Amino acid sequence: MTTVAASWLPLSPGERSVAIEVLVNGPLSRTELARRLDLSAGSLTRLTKPLIESGLLVEVPEAGAPAEVRQGRPSQPLDVVAESWSFIGFKITEEMVYGVVTTLRSDIVARHDRPLTTHDPAEVADVLAEMAGGFTAAHPCPAGIGIGVGGRVEGRSVVAESPFLGWRGVPLAGLVEERTGLPVVVENDVAALVEAETWFGAGRGLDRFVVLTIGAGIGYGLVLGGRRVPNAEEDRGFGRHWIVDPNGPLTPEGERGSAVSLLAIPSIRYQVRAATGRDWTYDEILGRAAAGEPMPARVIDEAARALGTLVAQISNFVMPQKILLAGEGVGLMDVAGNTVGETIRTLRHPMAAPVALETKVSDFHDWARGAAVLAIQVLVLGAAESEPAGGS
């Protein structure tokens, strides 16, 4: 396919709705697509014609139909050719850049990581450009680049503040665009992960969906009506002031007994180090807790109760259809999942519906994939803000 992504733009709101529905839920018959979007057959034909002509949508054979019957059938389902387009996603941490290439449906087809030896914005942009160049050699003509960072992002282009990188007012999108010649979108990393899970993951088709991440910090994302709800907390240290236990531990980051002080990986390591003098990794602490070693077991038990409290509070007030627990700290569930479950049940009404809690063992490539989904949304579909991910 030689069509460039720019030929798809601009899409009208109606065309965009059709494109999103097929992208997220396809292949779909025209009858099903019209039902989902509450459109007449004529309106659907009018909206799909330019999308087919541009190459964004294609007619595909109906499963099970003989080849001679399938040819030219007006009822052929509509789909996208996911492999015809590629997108680059980056997740920047304090020490590393994690990169992926995805298809139009966000399937990861390549990974590459680089250590980050400097936080100078221009040099970081150089690293991203070099990585993008390497990706492009194997996956020509990417449609765009998405970048996820921990911090506050303005206009999906400027990193207004990132404590991990020590940045303020860094025009990251512009710096990378200058070096690559590709359109770039930048967003808070938790927001990017929520968008990816809403469109292509655990939250697909759900009206009320929550993502809770534990790792270097605590992340929270809320989806209502199939659309992510922006909030100030998601990019300003969520959980630092969410007090779970007023008598809980005091750590260098977060208020006493806050979600961050109880659950974040650096806080857990700090508590164990302060009590034992040993600087163990998070995985080592989990292993020692599982083996019954007193101090690691106590810290992990407190963390599990904190997590159960958060999940119960979210469920009581938001009533989500599902909560996805993700991040590099989810190994806590393997060691203390029973404690988390007991705490949830204790803090909810006995007749409340069970919490649909899904745990996703994820790494930083999942965060990079989330950034690539931003590129899919903004650069291909022309959406300045996230669109509802569709669903029946």
Report pLDDT digits (tens) over 122-131. Answer: 999 999 999 9
Q: What are phi and psi of 366, to 5 degrees?
A: -65, -35
103 and 28 both lie in a single domain: no
- The SS3 call for residue 292 is coil
246 and 258 both lie in a single domain: yes
Task: Give me the mean pLDDT over the 312-331 stretch.
Answer: 94
Domain tally, the chain = 3
Residue 286 has a pLDDT of: 97
71 and 114 both lie in a single domain: no
Q: With 80 as the cut, is the pLDDT of residue 387 above it?
A: no
Question: Among 51, 18, 9, 50, which residue's Cα sits nearest to residue 380?
Answer: 9
Q: With 90 as the cut, is the pLDDT of residue 315 above it?
A: yes
Query: CA distances (Å), 5 to each of 14, 141, 149, 381, in order?
Result: 19, 10, 25, 9
Per the document, the length of the chain is 392
Q: Among the listed ranges 53-57, 59-63, 80-84, 259-263, which one has the minimum average pLDDT value? A: 59-63
269 and 285 both lie in a single domain: yes
Task: Give me the mean pLDDT over the 337-348 stretch.
Answer: 96
- CATH number of 15's domain: 1.10.10.10
Structural domain range at position 62:
5-80
Neighbouring CB atoms inside 10 A of 32's CB total: 16
191 and 245 both lie in a single domain: no
Provide the Cα torsion 341, 343, 349, 353; round to 10°.
-20
Sign, Cα dihedral of 344, 347, 350, 353 = negative
**What percentage of residues in the chain have a pLDDT greater than 70?**
89
CB 218 within 8 A of CB 328: no
Residue 282 lies in a domain: yes
Q: With 60 as the cut, is the pLDDT of residue 243 above it?
A: yes
Contacts of 115 (CB under 8 A, 6+ apart): 95, 96, 97
